[in-house]
Structures are given as structure tokens and as C-alpha cells.
Amino acid sequence: MTIVDPSGISAGGAGAETMGQDIADLGAIRPLRADVWRRFKRNRMAVASMVFLAVLAVLAIFAPLIAPYGITDRVPLFREGPSLHHLFGTDGIGRDVFSRVIYGARVSLTIGVLAASLSLLIGLVLGATAGFFGGLIDTVIARVTDIVLAVPYIVLAIAIASVLGGSERAVILIIGLTTWTSLTRIVRASFLSLKQLEYVEAATALGFSRPRIMFRHILPNALQPVIVYGTISIAGVILTEAALSFLGVGVRDPTPAWGLMIAQGKGDLANAPHLLLFPSIALVLTVLAFVFIGDGLRDALDPKQK
């Protein structure tokens, strides 16, 4: 149970198996890299999203050079709307919203990528181990996954937050440590199917060691859904950060995370909408960008399409 999961690829019984069957097809024919890129380019939304993310990354990296103010610099103008000096207006204690949104790109992208990576890493390791070795190890991992899934997400999030405090690092850990369950199932399913493929049998017959088979033969093929899911899961992470901030267990002031700015500005819809509007737009566009890229990757990597 996660708070948000815009990927649509979540844990489930037969669902993962179905995906596994699709993945098994993959084992036979893998599209060439050049083909993948060509197919990807045809998807206009995906390409536009890549451009957007590239711009965002530039903003994030060069934020100190681009943003006109620092994130804690204050001017004696409180809750002013957009103006020449302050493109997105000022907030309750006089900070420039435009600068904070730009720095926010840094925060949100960092949290997004790092938390998704942590989640991915855990999911890969556990899923691969479960799928490849099977048997008792598989059962144990499956049970542990069930238990983590059973505990309501909020409880884990608040509990970890109260131990670690409210920093970026804490949020990354919270999200990373609690959202690996879906990926584990996907990876496991694909390992299960791929294990049976002929060339794996051949490799085993040839005497290659098991880890070698796992890493060099199965893993690359299993990566396709992982890449797709991983990309889309960044979107989920960014939304989860917003949700955690709303509940009061996300990052803290003055860190300009978009989610936190939205949560703080939610009551101002009527009288100071710029406080809510600009971070929201930034967040929605970024989330969409990741989703479209993920979709584009899925279509591009799908062997059944021409």
C-alpha cells in the first residue's frame, strides 16, 4: 500500500505473472539500441518531456547562478503577487517564490532520483535473489514483503520521520525504504520466467556459475521493466514527498521542496493563489514528464511494436 503510485505497476498476484510472460517474450527478441532510440523519438510527448527535464536539471544544477535571491533572503513585502522584481511573487515572510521554486527543482529532483534509486536497488536485490534461488529464500522474501506491505504506509513514514527528523536525507530514506515492494515482485516474476529459457539452460549445462548466469544473462533482460518502472516511480516519489509534507513529516522549512511549499500554500487559494499555483505547476509538469518518458520507454522497448 503506497500513498501514490502513478505508474500503475503495483504488486499483485497474477498481474505480475502476466507481466512476466511478456518479459519472457523479450528473452527471445531484444530490440537494438538504435531501434529503441528511433521509436522513442517518434513519441512527441516523451521527447518534449526529456527536453523539459533537461532544462529542469540545468536549473537545478545552476540554481545559485540563475535564482535572483537566496532561499532565505527576505524583503519587507509580504504575500505580494507576481511583479517585475519577483516573478512569482513573495511568500508570507517576504521570500522570493521564483528563487525558491528554482531551488526546489534541486530538492525535488534529488529526492526523486535518490529515493527511487534506493527503492530500485533494494527491489532488484531482493527480487533477483527471490526469483533466481527460489525455494525457501523466495518464500522468506515473499513473507517479508507481505509484512512490509501490510503495515500502513503512514505508520512507517511517521515512525521513521520521528526517529530521523525532517531532513532531505530522512525523506529519501523514508520513501526508499518503503516503496520497494512492487519492484521486488516485478523483478522476481521476470527472473522466474527467464530462468526457464533455453539459453539459460544452455549456460548452466556449460557449467557457468550461478551468480554469473544471474548477472550476465538474466539481469540485462530483466532490466527492461525495471527501467520503465524506475523512471515512472520517480514521479511517484515526488508526489509522495508532497503528501508527506502535507502530513507534516516531510522536509522542513526553509528547505524549498515543492511539496512543502504547496502544503503551506494550500489555504491561500483564495487570497494569495500565487503561493499555491507556481509550485503546483512545477510539480505537476515534472511528474508528467517522468510519466511520459516512462511510457515512451515502455513503448520503445516493446518488441511487439513495429
Distance, in Å, from the CA atom of 96 to the CA atom of 75, rounded to the nearest integer, reads 8
Interface pick for other proteins out of 94, 177, 208, 303 (rule CB under 8 A)? 94
Q: How many residues bind other proteins (CB under 8 A)?
A: 71
Distance, in Å, from the CA atom of 74 to the CA atom of 245, rounded to the nearest integer, reads 23
Supply the minimum distance, in Å, between the C-beta of residue 210 and other proteins: 21
Nearer residue to other proteins within complex by CB, 34 or 150: 150
Q: Which helix (H) or strand (E) holds 27?
A: helix 13-28
Supply the minimum distance, in Å, between the C-beta of residue 153 and other proteins: 6
The answer to whether 203 contacts other proteins (rule: CB under 8 A) is no
Torsion angles phi and psi, residue 228, rounded to 5: -60, -50
Distance, in Å, from the CA atom of 296 to the CA atom of 279, rounded to the nearest integer, reads 26
- Any idea of the CA torsion for 239, 244, 245, 247, to the nearest 10 degrees? 130
Supply the minimum distance, in Å, between the C-beta of residue 202 and other proteins: 26
The answer to whether 243 contacts other proteins (rule: CB under 8 A) is yes
Q: Write each residue from 9 to 38 as x if it is in contact with other proteins (CB under 8 A), else as -, in one continuous string.
A: -xxxxxx-xxx-------------------
Q: Write each residue from 34 to 73 as x if it is in contact with other proteins (CB under 8 A), else as -, in one continuous string.
A: --------------------------------------x-
Q: Which residue from 286, 240, 250, 245 is spatially nearest to 262, judged by alpha carbons?
A: 245
b/e code 190-220 from CB counts within 10 Å (16+ = b)? bbbbbbebeebeebeeeeeeeeebbeebbbe
The answer to whether 74 contacts other proteins (rule: CB under 8 A) is yes
Angle between the N-to-C axes of helices 44-61 and 274-301, in degrees from 0 to 180, rounded to the nearest 10: 130
Interface pick for other proteins out of 63, 173, 174, 235 (rule CB under 8 A)? 235
Supply the minimum distance, in Å, between the C-beta of residue 25 and other proteins: 12
The answer to whether residues 256 and 100 touch, using CB atoms and an 8 Å cutoff, is: yes
Distance, in Å, from the CA atom of 215 to the CA atom of 133, rounded to the nearest integer, reads 13
Helices (H), 151-273: 153-164, 168-178, 181-195, 198-206, 210-212, 219-247, 258-265
The answer to whether 262 contacts other proteins (rule: CB under 8 A) is yes
Supply the minimum distance, in Å, between the C-beta of residue 102 and other proteins: 19
Interface pick for other proteins out of 27, 259, 294, 296 (rule CB under 8 A)? 259
Nearer residue to other proteins within complex by CB, 214 or 282: 282
The footprint of other proteins on residues 130-189 (CB under 8 A) is 138, 142-143, 146-147, 149-155, 158-159, 162-163, 165-166
Supply the minimum distance, in Å, between the C-beta of residue 100 and other proteins: 13
Supply the minimum distance, in Å, between the C-beta of residue 172 and other proteins: 18
Interface pick for other proteins out of 115, 222, 291, 293 (rule CB under 8 A)? 291
SS3 74: strand
Nearer residue to other proteins within complex by CB, 66 or 299: 299
